[in-house]
Amino acid sequence: MRRRKLWLLIHIISAGVWIGVDVMVAVLVAAGTWGEERELAYRALGTFVVWPMLTSALVCLITGVLLGLETKWGLIRYWWVAVKLVLNLVLCTLILVLLRPMMPELRASGEGTSSLAFPPIVSLTALSLATVLSVYKPWGRIARRRP
């Protein structure tokens, strides 16, 4: 029971950190798009975003898997848990495949593109959906195939 509560606490904190980093990304993108300190905002984005975001995402993934293995909800027993797992895996992949490769150029040049608005929009939407799923636990059990 204590171990489950510890994993749950770490899971909630890591999700909060991940959301906070995404809000910071949105603020830096907005400052880079409309602010006077455009170059500074983009350099900060290129320097400080990927690793805190990826770390919090992976901690959230690991603790979510541990919670799934230790609780009645399971990993793929209920639809809402499976959807959260898929959302986390997709977002972690997007961080590594799309966001990380953009950062060295952004850090070096201090100039962004219009596509920088999409990462915080997509991530905050997906993380909000995951939070709603955690609270409301919609849908039911995933049906088992019978032989």
Domain of 75? 2-135
Domain count, the chain: 1
Asked whether residue 146 is assigned to any structural domain, the reply reads: no
Asked whether residue 9 is assigned to any structural domain, the reply reads: yes
Asked whether residue 85 is assigned to any structural domain, the reply reads: yes
pTM value is 0.90
Q: In this predicted structure, what is the pLDDT of residue 120?
A: 93
Q: Dihedral through CA 47, CA 51, CA 56, CA 60, nearest 10?
A: 140
Asked whether residue 108 is assigned to any structural domain, the reply reads: yes
Note the pLDDT tens digit of each residue in 68-92: 999 888 888 999 999 999 999 999 9
Asked whether residue 140 is assigned to any structural domain, the reply reads: no
Name the packing angle between helices 2-34 and 50-70 (round to 10°): 150
Q: Which residue has the tokens 């994993």?
A: 7
Which SS3 state, helix, strand or coil, does residue 72 take?
coil
Note the pLDDT tens digit of each residue in 26-50: 999 999 888 888 889 989 999 999 9
